[in-house]
Each structure stands twice: as structure tokens, then as C-alpha cells.
Structure 1
Amino acid sequence: MIVPDVNLLVYAYDRTAPAHRRARAWWESVLSGYEPVGLPWIAVLAFVRLTTHPTLNDNPMTVVQARECVESWLERGHVRLLSPEATTFLRFFELLAVGGVGGNLCTDALIAALAEEHGGKVYSNDADFGRFAGIAWENPLR
């Protein structure tokens, strides 16, 4: 299962991002493929928050546009949402303990826990996922 981090989703839709073209090509190939894709709820929330934020974007999406993006992903038979379970939170805290810090790693730890729970691999442009021992991850932009 492919579990994308929010940075790749944002880059795929932010035409001003330096990695836009590569992220867009990667995301379109994922959506056109057949490998299962698990979208962590927290990544969807962050995608909507970041792409609709008026001070972070010269041309922010409307909430309707962001919703349409997410709906278009979920309309594909191999894409689904991943929601945390009670056991996810146990693994989340274990990963934070191994990483030795909370703060900015909290979202990454939750995405990593969800990926592990569903037998997935995290795809991100963020090397912090390498801090979580045993979590499969890859940077598709390299």
C-alpha cells in the first residue's frame, strides 16, 4: 500500500512549488495505477489546511476545490482513507519515543503508524521518516 505524506500531495497541486512537476507526475502515476493507496486522514486534513490557506498561497484553492481533489482521489477503486484505531495511538507514541522527540514529528509518527498498521510504505519528501526504525519509506522525488 502506498501511503503518501502531505508534502507530496501539496507539491502535486501547488504550481509554485519547486518539486511540483515531479510530485504531480508521481501522484498521477499512483492514481492511474492499481497498487492500493491509503490516505491518512491527517494528511487529507493538512492538504486542505495548506492548499486553502490565503497567507501560504498566492492563489489558494477554495474549500470546494480542495474537496473535489480529495473526492476525485477517493473515487478510484484503489484509494481509501486510513483512520487511526486505538492500537494506532500506542504505536504512535512508541515511534515518538524511538525518534526521541515530539513536536514536528507528531504528524509523521502518526502517518508512519498508519502505514505500518496497514502493511504500507510511506512516500514522502521528508527524510524524518528515516528516524522511525522499521518503517518502510521512500522519497519518490529522488
Structure 2
Amino acid sequence: MIAVDTNILVYAHRPESPLHERALVTLDELHAVGSPWGIPVHCLVEFAAVVSNPRIWRQPSSPSAIADQAAVWQESRGFRLLGDDAVVWSRSCELATRGHVAGGAWYDARVAAVCLAHGVRELWTADRDYSHFPAVR
């Protein structure tokens, strides 16, 4: 299974992003192949927070535009929404300890833990901070 991180979702959604076309093609390829792929719930919430932020965008995305975009992804062949469970917290702590992370990298540890809990073999991201977690490539 492949998981998609927040930054790729933002790039695909926001046409003014310099990586917009590349992100769209990436997500279109996932849909076309129909292989199992997913988005961690945390990444979907973070996506909504980023694209609706008026400090970042002149015209932030509305809640309905965000919901519509998420629905398109969720209706894609092979899609799964990747949620947390009781094991994710302890796995997050293990990953954070092994990766010597602090601050915002805890969010990345959580995403990595969710991915591992769901059998994700690849996390597609533009974020280099995941190098702290070699179990997720």
C-alpha cells in the first residue's frame, strides 16, 4: 500500500502551487492503477488546515471545497482512509525515541506509525523529515 502525505495533497489541490501539475499527475496515476493507497486521517485534517489558512492563501479553500476534494480522493479506486488506533500512540513513541525527534517531528512520527499500522510500504511525501523513520520509505 502507498500512503500520501499532506504536502502532496496541498500541491494537488492548490493550482498556484509550483508543484501542482506534478502532484496531480501523481494522484491520477494512483487512481488509474487502482492499487491500494490511502491518506492518514491526520494528513487529511492537516491538508484542510493548510488550504483553508488565509495567512497562506489569498483565496483560501472553503470547507465545502475541501470536503469535495476529499470526497474525490475517497471515491478513488483502491483508496483507504488510514486511522489511528490504540497501538499508534505507543508506536509513535517508539519511532520518536529511535529517531531522536522533537517538536513538530512528533506529527511525522504519528503519520509514520499510522502507515506502519496499516501495512504501508511507501509514503509519498516531499518532506525530508521522514528520514528519521527508516521503516517507512
Q: TM tier, shorter chain? A: over 0.9
User: Is contact 1:111–1:122 with CA below 8 Å preserved after alignment?
Assistant: no
Match of 2:21 in 1: 21
Alignment pair present for 1:54 and 2:66: no
Q: Identity over the aligned pairs, expressed in percent?
A: 29
Q: Secondary structure at the match of 1:73?
A: helix
More displaced stretch, 112-121 vs 62-71: 112-121
Equivalent positions of 1:1-142 (< 5 A) are 1-120=1-120, 121-135=122-136, 137=137
Q: Secondary structure at the match of 2:72?
A: helix
User: Is contact 1:10–1:51 with CA below 8 Å preserved after alignment?
Assistant: yes
Normalised by the size of structure 1, how large is the TM-score?
0.89
Distance in 2 separating the partners of 1:54 and 1:23: 22
- Would you identify which runs of 4 or more consecutive aligned residues in structure 1 move more than 2 Å? none
User: Is contact 2:10–2:47 with CA below 8 Å preserved after alignment?
Assistant: yes
User: Is contact 2:31–2:77 with CA below 8 Å preserved after alignment?
Assistant: no
In the TM superposition, residue 33 of structure 1 has moved relative to its aligned partner by: 2.2
In the TM superposition, residue 32 of structure 1 has moved relative to its aligned partner by: 2.4
Distance in 1 separating the partners of 2:25 and 2:80: 20
Normalised by the size of structure 2, how large is the TM-score?
0.92
Q: Which runs of 5+ in 1 are unaligned?
A: 138-142
